[in-house]
């Protein structure tokens, strides 16, 4: 595996471990209010400072990160659950079915998704656990295209022909032979879906429509920080965490993709 | 060609209807209503209120009434901002959102393509690696991070530019930059790859072997084909820019369309939500159509496909 992508994956794992283990190591609780330290800048007691209600920002940032990453992971699973069968069936069946299915994907591309996601979130009554379904339900389009493309390649392989000659049924071929073979590229692509999904969650929470107090996410923390600019650390810490996470995930996804598609030869002028 | 446009228009109208219907039923099914307040209204008043907005009718009747109203160009009265119709609110908000959106789009398109082309022309040199790295970095900074940080640095810290409002051109500088940053990065990547591919095309090799100047080679032969992936991403990018403007409008307190939509969704201001979704969807569909037509102008293969779809 590429060295860069290995580094970024290690980074992601370290971050996840920190986010999930961190709270046990800190003396402060997620909703614990320190009345002696309201709106205080970073210090040895509160490493990232405190927010307007005197809650420890380090613990809040980690709690927010847990929520953001969990929702992103679940939403990616949802997009996988829709995009993978959609692309595989379209690609394998071909003909009219393929045309109709891909036209639907094309049509959906041209829609104002963020608005529908927000309406779905409103419809779910701000249940944070259903936020991921709304986001996942609209982020499967690219995945469906990639899977279809891969299926078209796999479809003509000898082993598929052999399976057909043996009289294996189509659903069986798709689930047992096509899906496992398109899984690699699909997984790589999923790494590229995650940052987009994290942005979507933060975006909705930022607007005050997603995660609600006392629960938090990076989007909520950044929104809070943006209105309290007299205490810049309340913006800078969550924003840095979100940016670094997005950066690392983007780099990992790109390099995994390049590793699978080494068609990067160029001509110099 | 005209038939192609008509077919696409019909397709767009159907899509618009689907979006409006989805929005209508989703917002109606959502818990809460426009007249839920801190205090419960006396039942008689609530009944009158509902009746005056036709909210006491069965849902299908209301749906039909709404469609007929929209068909005649009327988006109805706002439920929360009394004294205003949705048409008036949109007329006030749209120019602001479009102002930010269009300037951000143009900035991203021009600057992104410039950076991408420069990177491709120096393929595998330090310049290429530096610019590509910058582009990856840019993608990690969505408006929701950039906008508050820009306010913090340039408005609060340095006090160079105003932090909010919409009365002078200076008010639009920070919102435009915040909104365009990730798209500069995206366009730079696309145009870089497009250029690298175009440089390998036979007609470019021919042109080069004939000893064309670098400038003519780039502008006449490389860029026209390199711009195609950039253009095809323009539709989705413009849609994302319009959505992203919600965050930017929130941070910079610009009273644009996005703010009305978010407020409407929070307050269950049914007509306002529907009206803004309708306008956004129409804008996005129109943009996509425009991009497809431009596409045909630039790429003869697509043009012949359009003509072929006539019969």
Which of the residue ranges A13-17, A257-261, B5-9 would you say has the lowest mean pLDDT? A257-261
Identify which of B32, B136, B246 has the shortest CB distance to residue A250. B136
Identify which of A125, A222, A254 has the shortest CB distance to residue B30. A125
For chain B, the average pLDDT equals: 78
Average pLDDT (A27-49) is: 70
In A, which residues are within 8 Å of B158 by CB distance? none
Cβ-Cβ contacts under 8 Å between A and B: the total is 148
Chain A CA closest to residue B145: A239
Identify which of B15, B31, B276 has the shortest CB distance to residue A125. B31
A positions 228-247 inside 8 Å of B (CB)? 229, 232, 235-236, 239, 242-244, 246-247
Whether B121 and A269 lie within 8 Å, measured CB to CB: yes
Whether B26 and A122 lie within 8 Å, measured CB to CB: yes
Whether A203 and B273 lie within 8 Å, measured CB to CB: no
* Token pair in block for residue A73: 């992971």
Give per-residue pLDDT as tens, B75-97.
777 777 777 777 778 888 888 88
Give per-residue pLDDT as tens, B155-194.
777 767 676 666 777 777 788 888 888 888 888 888 888 8
pLDDT band with cut points at 50, 70 and 90 for residue B302: low
Whether B262 and A115 lie within 8 Å, measured CB to CB: no
Q: Are A110 and B239 in contact (CB under 8 A)?
A: yes
Number of domains in chain A: 1
Question: Which residues lie across from B77 on neighbouring strands?
Answer: B85
Chain A CA closest to residue B276: A115
Token match 């189509």: residue? A170
Chain B CA closest to residue A263: B197
Whether A267 and B199 lie within 8 Å, measured CB to CB: yes
A positions 88-147 inside 8 Å of B (CB)? 107, 109-116, 118-120, 122-123, 125
Indicate the fold that domain B86-309 takes in CATH: MetI-like fold (1.10.3720)
Q: Do you know the residue count of chain B?
A: 311
**Interface mutation vs chain A, best among B140, B163, B181, most A CBs within 10 Å:** B140
**Interface mutation vs chain B, best among A11, A191, A269, most B CBs within 10 Å:** A269
User: In this predicted structure, what is the pLDDT of residue B299?
Assistant: 65
Domain boundaries, chain B: 86-309
Report the 10 Å Cβ neighbour count for A1: 9
Phi, psi of B150 (to 5 degrees): -60, -40
Show the domain range for A41.
3-265
- Respond yes or no on whether ipTM tops 0.95: no
| Element at A101 (helix H, strand E) | helix A95-109
Cα–Cα distance measured from residue B222 to residue A21, given in angstroms and rounded to the nearest whole number: 52
pLDDT band with cut points at 50, 70 and 90 for residue B310: very low
Which of the residue ranges A176-190, A203-217, B33-47 would you say has the lowest mean pLDDT? B33-47
Whether B148 and A123 lie within 8 Å, measured CB to CB: no
In A, which residues are within 8 Å of B141 by CB distance? 243, 246
Give per-residue pLDDT as tens, B231-271.
777 777 877 787 778 888 888 878 888 888 888 888 777 88
Average pLDDT (B108-128) is: 83
Whether A112 and B148 lie within 8 Å, measured CB to CB: no
pLDDT at residue A84 tops 80: yes
Q: Are A73 and A65 in contact (CB under 8 A)?
A: no
Q: What is the CATH number of the domain that holds A177?
A: 1.10.3720.10
Cα–Cα distance measured from residue B116 to residue B118, given in angstroms and rounded to the nearest whole number: 5
pTM of the model as a whole: 0.78
What's the gap in Å between the CA of B293 and the closest CA on chain A? 15
pLDDT at residue A157 tops 60: yes
Identify which of A120, A209, A269 has the shortest CB distance to residue B266. A209
Whether B151 and A229 lie within 8 Å, measured CB to CB: yes
pLDDT band with cut points at 50, 70 and 90 for residue B301: low
In A, which residues are within 8 Å of B251 by CB distance? 226
Which of the residue ranges A63-72, A166-175, B174-183, B291-300 would you say has the lowest mean pLDDT? B291-300
User: In this predicted structure, what is the pLDDT of residue B100?
Assistant: 86
* Token pair in block for residue B19: 């979006």
| Greater model confidence, A89 or B290 | A89
Number of H helices and number of E strands within chain B? 13, 0
Cβ-based burial of A214 (10 A; exposed 0-12, middle 13-18, buried ≥19): exposed
Q: Are B33 and B268 in contact (CB under 8 A)?
A: yes
User: In this predicted structure, what is the pLDDT of residue B311?
Assistant: 37
- Residue A14, SS3 per DSSP: helix
pLDDT at residue A267 tops 50: no
Average pLDDT (A15-37) is: 73
pLDDT at residue B282 tops 50: yes
* Token pair in block for residue A255: 């390099």
For chain A, the average pLDDT equals: 79
Whether B277 and A113 lie within 8 Å, measured CB to CB: no
pLDDT band with cut points at 50, 70 and 90 for residue A171: confident
Q: Are B133 and B206 in contact (CB under 8 A)?
A: no
| Greater model confidence, A219 or A32 | A219
pLDDT band with cut points at 50, 70 and 90 for residue A137: confident
């Amino acid at each position: 595996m590429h060295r860069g992508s290995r580094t970024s994956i290690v980074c992601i794992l370290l971050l996840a471990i920190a986010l999930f283990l961190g709270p046990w190591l800190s003396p402060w609780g997620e909703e614990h209010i320190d009345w002696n330290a309201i709106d205080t800048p970073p210090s040895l007691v509160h490493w990232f400072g405190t927010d307007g209600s005197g809650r420890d920002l380090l613990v809040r940032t980690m709690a927010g990160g847990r929520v953001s990453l969990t929702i992103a992971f679940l939403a990616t699973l949802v997009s996988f659950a829709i995009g993978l069968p959609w692309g595989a069936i379209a690609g394998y069946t071909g003909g009219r079915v393929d045309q109709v299915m891909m036209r639907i994907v094309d049509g959906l591309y041209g829609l104002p998704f963020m608005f529908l996601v927000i309406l779905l979130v409103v419809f779910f009554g701000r249940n944070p656990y259903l936020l991921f379904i709304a986001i996942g339900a609209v982020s499967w389009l690219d995945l469906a295209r990639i899977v279809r493309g891969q299926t078209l390649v796999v479809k003509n392989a000898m082993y598929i022909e052999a399976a057909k000659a043996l009289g294996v049924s189509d659903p069986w071929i798709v689930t047992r032979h096509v899906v496992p073979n398109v899984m690699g590229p699909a997984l790589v692509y999923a790494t590229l879906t995650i940052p987009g999904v994290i942005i979507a969650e933060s975006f909705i929470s930022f607007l005050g429509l997603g995660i609600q107090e006392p629960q938090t996410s990076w989007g909520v923390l950044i929104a809070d920080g943006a209105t309290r600019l007299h205490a810049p650390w309340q913006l800078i810490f969550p924003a840095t965490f979100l940016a670094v996470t997005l950066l690392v995930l983007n780099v990992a996804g790109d390099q995994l993709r390049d590793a699978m598609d080494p068609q990067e030869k160029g001509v110099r002028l | 060609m005209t038939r192609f446009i008509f077919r696409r228009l019909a397709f767009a109208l159907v899509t618009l209807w689907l979006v409006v219907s989805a929005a209508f039923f989703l917002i109606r099914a959502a818990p809460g209503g426009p007249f839920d307040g801190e205090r419960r209204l006396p039942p008689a008043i609530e009944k009158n209120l509902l009746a005056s907005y036709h909210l006491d009718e069965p849902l299908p009747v209301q749906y039909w009434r709404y469609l007929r109203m929209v068909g005649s160009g009327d988006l109805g009265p706002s439920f929360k901002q009394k004294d205003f119709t949705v048409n008036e609110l949109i007329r006030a908000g749209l120019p602001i959102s479009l102002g930010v959106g269009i300037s951000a789009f143009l900035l991203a398109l021009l600057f992104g393509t410039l950076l991408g082309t420069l990177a491709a022309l120096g393929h595998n040199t330090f310049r290429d690696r530096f610019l590509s790295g910058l582009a990856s970095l840019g993608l990690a900074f969505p408006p929701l991070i950039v906008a508050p940080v820009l306010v913090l640095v340039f408005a609060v810290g340095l006090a160079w530019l105003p932090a909010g409002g919409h009365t002078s051109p200076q008010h639009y500088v920070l919102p435009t930059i915040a909104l365009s940053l990730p798209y500069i990065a995206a366009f730079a990547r696309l145009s870089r790859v497009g250029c690298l591919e175009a440089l390998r095309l036979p007609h470019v090799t021919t042109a080069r072997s004939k000893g064309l100047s670098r400038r003519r080679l780039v502008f006449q032969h490389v860029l026209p084909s390199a711009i195609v992936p950039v253009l095809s991403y323009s539709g989705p990018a413009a849609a994302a820019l319009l959505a992203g403007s919600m965050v930017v409008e929130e941070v910079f307190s610009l009273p644009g369309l996005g703010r009305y939509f978010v407020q409407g969704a929070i307050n269950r201001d049914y007509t306002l939500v529907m009206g803004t979704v309708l306008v956004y969807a129409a804008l996005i569909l129109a943009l996509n159509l425009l991009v497809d037509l431009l596409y045909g102008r630039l790429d003869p293969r697509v043009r012949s496909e359009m003509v072929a779809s006539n019969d």
